[in-house]
Amino acid sequence: MEFIRNCNVIQWIDGECKTIEENAVEDEYTYLFIDYLPPRKFSTYPKDLEDFAIGYCLGEGLIKDYSDIKEIKVDGTNILVTTTLSHDPEEDLEQEGIVQERKGNCEHACVCRLLEYQGVNSDNAGGIRSELKSIDPILSDLKIDATQIIKDIEHLTDEAKIWQKTAGVHVAQLKYGDEIIIREDVSRHVAVDKVIGAASKENYDFSKCYISYSGRMPADMLIKVIRVGIPIIISNASPASSGVDVAEAGNITMVGFVRNNRFTVYTAPERIDFKK
């Protein structure tokens, strides 16, 4: 099912007006309930919500891998996640900094003080993203060809079916050898959560995966990638300086400004074969 609405609009071109039909993507509030933690609210494209929930839990450090999830129930746009770790609000008490080590050696952000009656509000990035106290560099030996980066962004655009119809979503693509997962969402963070969640269900080795997506590369996106252990991130857009700092500390290969036949490598260039 595609969540797209037809709208009658007035189009102006070179001084001339006409009435036409345009597509608009439907976005809805999605509520994520994880164990006994306060609910979290997101604006999403309401498809592939189970993938989103898994990817979000991994990216926030609430689980270590897919086996930590006991059950996921999707009821409309409500997602109920039960983990083997039985997270509760009391374990989120803030001490030194935001993140603390908890059950199962997982890390996650304190959200209790932000609770509202309808749930913890997220921003357009898809969630309340935490900071890492320390960053362990990713040691993956994955390497990709320079020309493949151009092909990946072209494939991303070609397969972005909802974006082609509405221009109202971000698209993310995860590659693992010859396997490719693509997801779309109104939030670039949620789109990336979805591909991570889908890959986790398939038991992909994240150290051998890389992600291409549309949108900026700020620190919170890089933190998510570090947590799951993905060594390469590619975007058609630019990074934020905070993203460059995190990528450097985490030894992630960050590639941005992929346009036509060019791109820019900001960190860890040894994973790119520039001769191929």
pLDDT value for 91: 61
Reported as a single tens digit per residue, the pLDDT across 239-276 is 999 999 999 999 999 999 999 899 999 999 999 999 98
pLDDT value for 133: 63
Return the half-sphere exposure (C-beta side, CA atoms, 13 A cut-off) of residue 81.
Answer: 32
Rounded average pLDDT over 121-139? 59
Domain 144-273 in CATH: superfamily? Cytidine Deaminase, domain 2 (3.40.140.10)
pLDDT value for 16: 94
- Domain 28-121 and domain 144-273 have a common topology: no
If pLDDT is split at 50, 70 and 90, which confidence band does 101 have? Answer: very low
Which residue, chain included where needed, has tokens 């999707």?
A: 74
Q: What is the 3-state secondary structure (H, E, C) of the chain?
A: CCCEEEEEEEEEECCEEEEEEEEEECCEEEEEEECCCCCEEEEECCCCHHHHHHHHHHHCCCCCCHHHEEEEEEECCEEEEEECCCCCHHHHCCECECCEECHHHCEECCCHHHCCCCCEECCCCCCCCCCCCCCCCCCCCCCEEHHHHHHHHHHHHHCCHHHHHHCCCEEEEEEECCEEEEEEECCHHHHHHHHHHHHHHCCCCHHHEEEEECCCECHHHHHHHHHHCCCEEEECCCECHHHHHHHHHHCCEEEEEEECCEEEEEECHHHEECCC
* Residue 121 or 62, more confident: 62
User: What are the boundaries of each domain within the chain?
Assistant: 28-121, 144-273
Reported as a single tens digit per residue, the pLDDT across 166-220 is 999 999 999 999 999 999 999 999 999 999 999 999 999 999 999 999 999 999 9
pLDDT at 9 over 80: yes
* Residue 55 or 121, more confident: 55
pLDDT at 104 over 70: no
Q: What is the CATH number of domain 28-121?
A: 3.10.20.10
pLDDT value for 125: 40
